[in-house]
Each structure stands twice: as C-alpha cells, then as structure tokens.
Chains A and B, each alone.
Chain A
Amino acid sequence: MTLTSSSPSTDSVSEPRPAPAADAPAQAVPGKRFASPFAVQTPDGAEGWESMYPYYALLSDERREFEDGKFWFFDGMHNPEPLYPFDTIMTENWWVAASQMSTRVWPVPPAGGIDHRIINGYLYISPNAVTDPEAVAQRAEEFAVRAGHYYENWDEIYEQWVAKATDCIERLKAIRFAPLPEMEPVESVLEHRGTYSTYELLTTYGELINNLFEMGSYHFEMLNLGYGAYLTFREFCQAAFPGITDQTIASMVSGIDILLFRPDDEVRGLARLAVELGLADLVLGNEDPDATLAAISAHPNGAQWTAAFEEAKDPWFWFSTGAGYTHSDRAWIDDLRLPFSALRGYVQALLAGEEIRRPLDEIMAERVRVTAEYRDYLPTEEDRESFDGLVELARQVFPFVENHNFYVEHWHHSLFWSKVRELGDVFVAHGFLDDREDLFYLHRNEVYSALYDLNIGWATGTEARGVTYWRPEVERRKRIREVLKANPPLPALGVPPEFITEPLTVMLWGITQESVQEWLGTEDQDPNELRGVAASAGRVTGRARVIIDPEQLHEVEDGDILVCRITAPSWAPVFSRLSAAVSDVGGIMAHTAIVCREYGLPAVVGTGFATTTIRTGQLIEVDGDTGVVRVLEDASA
C-alpha cells in the first residue's frame, strides 16, 4: 500500500477486520495519536530505499519501543522532497550542530537535541525535552553564565560571526576539483612534494565536507539565543495585548536593511540603470537571459550595465530558489531566468512611471509609531520599562536572526552545491557517472569510497570498479526516489507530546499545541477547511496554484493563490503576481515569513496538508487574519 494523508483507522469497513497481531504497529487514533512510524509502508517499487541512507538515520527493531513512543513530524520546510543521499549532509549537519547547542553548549534548561529519522526518504524530526526539574535548574545555572555572556556582548560577537562566516565562504570559494592528470605534473617531482594528485583529491574533498560542517556549526552558534530573545518579547506582547498578530510583533523589531532584501534591491537598481542607459527595450525584448545579456553587450552603453550586473551577481545572486538545503534548490546565479523575470517587471513598472523603490523611510516611521503606541497602552511604568528592554534586546539580536540566512543558506550553501557539481565533473571525466548531477545519488561517505576507488584505478592503471558499479546503482536509486516522491508523507507520526515549548520547534517549524491538535484531527472536522498560522493579514479569494517544484513557478498566473510546501524568498518575482500564499509548513519565523509580509500578501503557513488537499484551479479563500484556508469550489474543469 502507499502512504497517503488519510488515516487508515477512519476507513469504514463492512467486513469485520481480523484482530491485529500483537506486535502490529499502532494505527492513528483521531484526537489521540498518529500512526506508528513502523506502520508506514514502503510504496511498491521503492523497495530497498534504505540503502541510500546511513544506518543511523533509519528506524530499527532494536530501538522500536523508543522510536514508536516519540512524536515525529515531517520537516517539509527544509526538505519537502525525499532526500538525495548526498544532501543528507545538510540534515546530518544540523542533527548535530543544532542539537549540541541545546544539549551540551549552552545548555538550554528544558530542551534537548532534535532527533532525526528518514522514513521513505522523507526527513522526520523529533525534539527532545528535559523534564526533571532538578536537571532543568542545574542547566539553568550553567545556561545563565554562557548565554548571558553572549547577550551581554552580542554586537561584538555578531561582528566576529560575520568575519568567521565570510572567511569560511572565501575558503570554500578557493576549493577546486579537477580530474586527475594523465601524468603527474613535473613540478610535483622537482619540488620534492612527496604527495600527489590522489592525496590532493582526497584532502580537498575532506576540506569541502569540513567546510560545510564548519559553516553548519556557525549557523547555530547564536540562533537559539536570537530566537529566545525574540520569543520572550513576543510572549510579553501576547500577554499584554491578547490577539496581537505575529506580523505586528515582528514589525516592531524587524530591520529594513536586511540582507534577504538585498538581491531584489540589486535587481531594482539594475532595472533603473537599464532605463537610464536606454537599454529597456533590450531587457524587455527577450525572455532568455543569455540572449538579453548578449544584446546588452553589443549596445554602445552596454559595458556599464554589464559591469554593474557582474558586480551585483557576486554575492547577491548566490540566492537560493528554495530553502537552500538541497542541491535542487538552484540559485539565481545558476539560473538567471528568475532575476531576469523580476528585472523585466521592474523595467516595465519604471516605464509606466511607477516608483519601485522600497519605501524605507515610511517603513521605519511606521515601526517607530507602532512601537510607541503599544508602549503607551501598557498599564504601568514598570511594564513600559520591561517592554523597552525587551524590544531593544530583540532588535539587537534580529540582524543575526534575519541575516544569517543569507550567509548560510543562500551564499554558502549555493556555493557549496556548485563545488559538489565540480566534483561531479571529475567523476564524469573518469567514467564513473554520465552526469555531474548523478553524484547527489551517493551519500557523502560513499563519495569518499568512490574517490578512493578512482585513485586506485588511476594509480594502478586498472579500470576502477566504480566505472561499472555506479551507473546502474544510480539508475536504481533514481527510480526509487521517483516512486518515493510520488508518495507524499504524513505530516506527523507517533505520539504527540503534552507540551511543546522548545523555542526552535515553535518559532521555526510552527509546531504548536494547536497545530498538532489540528493534524490529529477530530471526528467533525470540515474537510474543506485547513487551519494554519496566520502569517500575513488580509482575506482573499482566488484560484489555487499548487507548486511542488520551483521549476513550476513560471506556471503562476496573475491573481493566483500560491499553494506550496514552503515559500522561498527568492521566489520574490512571482509574489507580485499572487493574491495570497498558503504553505504546508513554517512558523512565524520561517526563513520566508518575513519576506512574505514585506510583500503584503495574505498568507497562511503551517497548514500541514495544503498541497495534498488543494488542487490547482480550485477556488479557495485565504484568511490571513485567522489562519484559515477554505476550499470554496472545485475547478470548473
């Protein structure tokens, strides 16, 4: 049987069912528990999928009791599709890097690490909690010393963080992969190097992997603390002003010059320059970016624009079209169609006499007004003092919270994937693979073995085993992954916890008591209604456009309501055509929520099932005030 989003236990049966075997995995019980992870069946044709992933990421009979009793939710926010074997480097990174911060580095008093399992290729995660009050108290003492130090010296540490991240990216840039030479260069000999191309290939690969883990560690160095400070301010606002929306709270601390807006700002600047230089017709005249670039180069004024374009591209076009966690999230720099589509939009707006500048002064003045008014409405002077302190601290941590995304997920990760492709070329050159992209079907530890295999072949002059081994294996894995992809995962498995307080779980994934209850379902649930987090205000009715793959983005038509697993900030160019957005996953601080609000689109995120419930063409209503999405009527077709 296949994995679907309907729960088997609600099927009505006329025939009495045989009693389940004593060791049969638990089925979902509406309102109580989700199906056991062990009840998930492998779809036909995907048998053997486990071989693509490391043993420690799989469910096991030996740990069955533990694994069945935990609450697992699908991390569709970062990994909407079945994981490519190589891409588990990202999930495995934060499995350690995020977890160790809570568990061993700070430690966060009531929170442990976050466990991972791969089920049918999809990543499920499960936050651990520390519940023993004595242990919590002990950890709190340690935490106060360590976290206190970071808060007290935040700006300085953030400055150091930027320097470390930038240096890490520079070293990544310097990494080069090339096929092994026919003959070792003579310099190696004359300089008495003693190590040769085989050693260099292995160590460079090691550098690449270590570089990812280095950045992966920086990623979480300050993140929990940043979220924690913001969460405290948010809770204060919610206690003082019940019903205050998340977007309003965010608007009081959010920066206006955050790096995530910078790529789009660069495109606006290029649009202005194109109009000034009389290149508007060339920009509008062709939908193919390469043809546009060629036409501009040939124009007498083209050199100035081309120079500005090259300047903007690095680093600002290292901007992922997805969350940056899989290699299939291509960056603008890999595929210029998205920024050029935005460029054409801005040029057209300029020609129509519209203002395309972001109204920074107005946004800033509004932030000042909103903050001052809420402050005035607090009941006592004591509360106003606390509010002042908390808003100041939240604003202090926010540049890191908002900007780390650009450094890590966009700039570093996009560059990282491009380096892996360079390595893919090495395997193609040595006859292991047909296509550089096929390398992503190998786990990073398998790549190490394959490199060694390649070195053996080069050293001995014998055909490497990999030349005949990997092609059919990659083909097999491709087929399996296609089957897995066609079988969307359940949003949650196992037994939900009584309380969800871990800050990252709440803020990043939008997993709350309410969303879990929603997923658990009730008997009298309206099948045409989905509930999620109200992420951006407003109510809109329109036709749904379900987008699973960023490749489909060009299908979006004016007025569509985007329905997706998760929106990505680099989808910005399509936002201007949308009337609203709905996502399966994400909380108020999901990487993209800030940008969604910036575009003023009504949005409901974290609905769990939008992409599996709603179909393209259906008339739906999105209420960004209450977080409710309704299917009003089926597609007319």
Chain B
Amino acid sequence: MSTTTPAPYVLWIDDPAANGNRQLGGKFGSLAEMTAAGFAVPPGFGITTSAYRHFLESAGLAERAREVRAAARGADLARVQAISAEFSAVIEAAALPADLEAAIRVGYAELERRTGQADLPVAVRSSGESEDLAGASFAGQYDTFLWIRGAEDLLRHVRRCWAGMFGAAVLTYRPDSDPDAVLADHGICVGVQQMVEARAAGVMFTLDPVSGDRSKVVVEGCWGLGEGVVSGGITPSRYVVDKVTFEVVRRDVVRQEEQYSVDPATAAVGLVPVPVERCDVACLDDVQIDALAKLAKRIEQHRGAPQDIEWAVSEAGDVHVLQVRPETVWSARAAAPLVTEKKSAVNHVLARFAGVGVAQGRGRTS
C-alpha cells in the first residue's frame, strides 16, 4: 500500500481518516467504523501499526523480531517461552523515538482535555492487523490493560502491548489453515480509550451462539467490568431476546458474589465483592436489555452479518460499545435446512395431522 502522506503515529477513532484504516488494526478499526456510524464508543485514539514499526526500526529491533519468529517456528514450548521472555524484556526496556513519544503524550493530554479529567483512567488494548477477521479469530491472544493513569504509565503499557506480539501464545499460534502464520510480520496498533466504569458489562451475540438461530440476540452480562465474562472467570447472567419483537424469551439470572472493578485500595482492577444488595439482583433491567438488543440489531444491520459485541453500562445507565467483531462459528458453517422434507404447505399440514413434524427443531436455547 502506498500513501502520499506519511502514516500518522496517532489516529483518533473519530477522525474521518480512521474509518476503515488498517493502521488501527482489526479491533480499533471496527471501533472507528462504529464511531463513524454514530454508535456510542468511548473516545480514544490508536497508536498505529506505523508507530509500532517506527519503534522497532528506530530501536534497531526489526531484524531481531524476524529472527525471533523464525526461531519460534517449530520450537518446543519451553524454548518458545524463553525466546519470548527475553525479547519481551528487550522491548519493554527500549526507548521510544522522540517524535513518537511526543505524539502519544499529546494524544493523552488531548483525551484528558476532551473528557475534562486529569490523569484520566484509560484502557490500553492491543489491536492486531490479523485479528478479528471473519474466520480467523485471534480473540483473547493479545493484551488488555485497564485503569491506566498518566502519560508515564501509558507509555509503559504501550510497550507491554508491543511486547505482547512476541508472547508465547502468539508465537505458538498455528491455525490449521496456515501453519506458517507465525512467520508473518503482522503489525499492531495500541488502542487508548477512556475507561467506562461499568455498573454491568458483558458480551452479546446477534445470533444464538448455541443453536445458530438468527432471530435472537443473546446477552451475557455481569456486575462490574466485563473482563470476567470475556475471560470466563465469572458465570454471567444470560438473556435471550427476540430480535424481531424484542421480547425477552429467556432469562437465566445467576447469583454473583464477586465482580471486576477498580479496587480503591490498590487503584487497580481486581476481583472485589459485589455489594450485598446486588448479589441476587439481575445486573440488567428490562430497559437496559431492550437498549442492548436494539443496539446489537443496529450494529448487525450496519455490518451486514452476525456480530459479537462487547458492551458496558455505566452507573448512569448509558450503554457503550467496547468492541465489535464478526461472528465466526456459524458464519463459516454451511447452513442446514430445517424442513425435514420439501413439500407443499398443504402436504406439510396433512403430514402433520398424520404425526410427521414439519421441521427439525434447533432444540432449546441454553
């Protein structure tokens, strides 16, 4: 790809140039697209893939990165872990080029100005070029750092995200479709976004992930930040919503005793007790479930295919989109017909009277 202007090191997700820009990687690119489409995405900027490459070049690490990947290919796990740890330490200790560091500091200061909050807590997330593409889900293999405050801490975690490109999990990732995936020189963007202090958060799917039924939105959520739902550490409550009528057709509310939140004692995100009065209460009320399901439907319509969406509801009750990616399981599967045998409507009815059902059920959603 050739460009006439030099690629920016910092790109705001609400910049007109951000929408569809590969420099933001998959995750942040999607959020730029969501922002452009008017969805409620917390404000932020991406430290682009160009910035990452600029860093490796100016720190003299680009060639070494290629060697590390080559060495990891086919090596046993212990060896990969050793290579990973060594190179990660090098990256985390390397100096940033002055122009890049200045750009990041300016970006953070601008975010503080926009939100009117000094030392604004931000979420710092990796957004890889190769992740979040339909059919190639790298979900969960890159890093996320929450509640990062101040430019110094931000810079440290940006380097940690870059180092994450050489984490053991990434270096050993070998999808069936491409055994040499590890060799590819994928870039990475680091997203910096205002933290939503979530009252409740989670994920939702614009189809039933269990049955493939596209007429449903399945919302999974818990009290506090959504990290517990995403990582699987907290069993979420689950709501199945009809995507046509927005009736809640099923609720499984789970008692929750711990939640991910900012621990005031450590000023870091961790597991804290759920306030007693909330333990047995659904983390979402009907108005919020309705808003989420309608949001999911709009996002799916906007993107033209089923999606997975990470969301958060603030203490004030506002719904935010934290991440959007194409659903990969059912979208990749050849659709099987439900009708047991093709026949006219009258013949279906006659058969039904004789005890032959018209269609194979998808089974109950669970």
**Residues of A that sit less than 8 Å from B by CB:** 108-110, 136-137, 139-140, 143-144, 147-148, 151-152, 228-229, 231-232, 235-236, 238-245, 248, 369-370, 373-374, 376-380, 382-383, 385-386, 389-390, 392-393, 501, 503, 537, 539, 625-626
Tell me if B1 counts as interface (CB < 8 A to partner A). Answer: no
Cβ-defined partner of A386 (8 Å) among B336, B358, B365: B358
A244–B242 touching, CB < 8 Å: yes
A240–B354 touching, CB < 8 Å: no
- Shortest beta-carbon contacts, A-B, top 3: A389-B345, A243-B249, A379-B335
For the complex, what is the distance from the CA of A236 to the CA of B342, rounded to whole Å? 13
Beyond known contacts A108-B353, A374-B244, A625-B249: 16 more, CB 8 A cutoff = A140-B354, A148-B346, A228-B353, A235-B357, A236-B359, A241-B216, A241-B242, A242-B362, A244-B249, A377-B213, A377-B215, A377-B244, A383-B339, A383-B359, A390-B348, A537-B245
Residues 316-352 of chain B, each 1 if its beta carbon lies under 8 Å from chain A, else 0: 0000000000000000000111110010111011101
B8-43, CB < 8 A from A: none
Tell me if B174 counts as interface (CB < 8 A to partner A). Answer: no
A244–B352 touching, CB < 8 Å: no
A232–B337 touching, CB < 8 Å: no
- Can you pick out 21 interface pairs between chain A and chain B where the beta carbons lie within 8 Å of each other? A151-B346, A228-B352, A235-B357, A239-B361, A241-B215, A241-B242, A242-B208, A242-B361, A242-B363, A243-B364, A244-B215, A245-B245, A248-B247, A379-B338, A380-B335, A380-B336, A383-B338, A389-B345, A389-B348, A393-B345, A537-B247
B223-254, CB < 8 A from A: 240, 242-245, 247-251
B352–A393 touching, CB < 8 Å: no
Residues of B with C-beta under 8 A to A369: 244
Q: A242-B364, A379-B335 are in contact. Are A386 and B342 (CB under 8 A)?
A: yes
User: What distance in Å separates the Cβ of B262 from its nearest Cβ neighbour in chain A?
Assistant: 34
Cβ-defined partner of A243 (8 Å) among B250, B345, B357: B250
For the complex, what is the distance from the CA of A369 to the CA of B243, rounded to whole Å? 12
B352–A389 touching, CB < 8 Å: no
A379–B212 touching, CB < 8 Å: yes
Tell me if B355 counts as interface (CB < 8 A to partner A). Answer: yes
Tell me if B58 counts as interface (CB < 8 A to partner A). Answer: no
Using CB atoms, name the residue of chain B closest to A235. B358
For the complex, what is the distance from the CA of A378 to the CA of B244, rounded to whole Å? 13
Tell me if B360 counts as interface (CB < 8 A to partner A). Answer: yes
Tell me if B211 counts as interface (CB < 8 A to partner A). Answer: yes
Tell me if B214 counts as interface (CB < 8 A to partner A). Answer: yes
Cβ-defined partner of A136 (8 Å) among B245, B337, B355: B355
For the complex, what is the distance from the CA of A238 to the CA of B357, rounded to whole Å? 11
A383–B337 touching, CB < 8 Å: yes
Residues of B with C-beta under 8 A to A238: 361
A382–B242 touching, CB < 8 Å: no
Q: Is the interface of B mostly helix, strand, loop or mixed?
A: loop
A389–B344 touching, CB < 8 Å: yes
B247-285, CB < 8 A from A: 247-251
B188-225, CB < 8 A from A: 208, 211-216
Residues of A with C-beta under 8 A to B216: 241, 243
A231–B352 touching, CB < 8 Å: yes
Residues of A with C-beta under 8 A to B361: 238-239, 242
Using CB atoms, name the residue of chain B closest to A240. B338
Using CB atoms, name the residue of chain B closest to A624. B247
Among A140, A390, A503, max chain B CB count under 10 A is at A390
For the complex, what is the distance from the CA of A229 to the CA of B362, rounded to whole Å? 21
Residues of B with C-beta under 8 A to A625: 247-249
For the complex, what is the distance from the CA of A373 to the CA of B214, rounded to whole Å? 10
B245–A370 touching, CB < 8 Å: yes
Among A245, A370, A389, A501, max chain B CB count under 10 A is at A389
A382–B345 touching, CB < 8 Å: no
Cβ-defined partner of B243 (8 Å) among A139, A140, A377, A383: A377
Residues of A with C-beta under 8 A to B337: 379-380, 382-383
Among B208, B248, B348, B353, max chain A CB count under 10 A is at B353
B355–A110 touching, CB < 8 Å: yes
B160-180, CB < 8 A from A: none
B211–A242 touching, CB < 8 Å: yes
Residues of B with C-beta under 8 A to A139: 354
For the complex, what is the distance from the CA of A393 to the CA of B212, rounded to whole Å? 27
Residues of A with C-beta under 8 A to B362: 239-240, 242
User: What distance in Å separates the Cβ of A408 from its nearest Cβ neighbour in chain B?
Assistant: 23
User: What distance in Å separates the Cβ of A181 from its nearest Cβ neighbour in chain B?
Assistant: 55
Using CB atoms, name the residue of chain B closest to A248. B245
Residues of A with C-beta under 8 A to B338: 236, 239-240, 378-380, 383
Residues of A with C-beta under 8 A to B212: 379
User: What distance in Å separates the Cβ of B54 from its nearest Cβ neighbour in chain A?
Assistant: 46
Residues of B with C-beta under 8 A to A248: 242, 244-245, 247
Residues of B with C-beta under 8 A to A539: 286
For the complex, what is the distance from the CA of A248 to the CA of B214, rounded to whole Å? 16
Residues of A with C-beta under 8 A to B336: 379-380
For the complex, what is the distance from the CA of A528 to the CA of B25, rounded to whole Å? 55
A382–B215 touching, CB < 8 Å: no
User: What distance in Å separates the Cβ of A388 from its nearest Cβ neighbour in chain B?
Assistant: 8
User: What distance in Å separates the Cβ of A525 from its nearest Cβ neighbour in chain B?
Assistant: 21
For the complex, what is the distance from the CA of A248 to the CA of B244, rounded to whole Å? 9
User: What distance in Å separates the Cβ of B49 from its nearest Cβ neighbour in chain A?
Assistant: 37
For the complex, what is the distance from the CA of A625 to the CA of B212, rounded to whole Å? 22
A393–B346 touching, CB < 8 Å: yes
A109–B249 touching, CB < 8 Å: no
User: What distance in Å separates the Cβ of B360 from its nearest Cβ neighbour in chain A?
Assistant: 6
Using CB atoms, name the residue of chain A closest to B212. A379
Among B208, B342, B358, B363, max chain A CB count under 10 A is at B358
Q: A240-B362, A537-B247 are in contact. Are A386 and B353 (CB under 8 A)?
A: no
Q: A238-B361, A239-B360, A239-B362 are in contact. Are A232 and B349 (CB under 8 A)?
A: yes
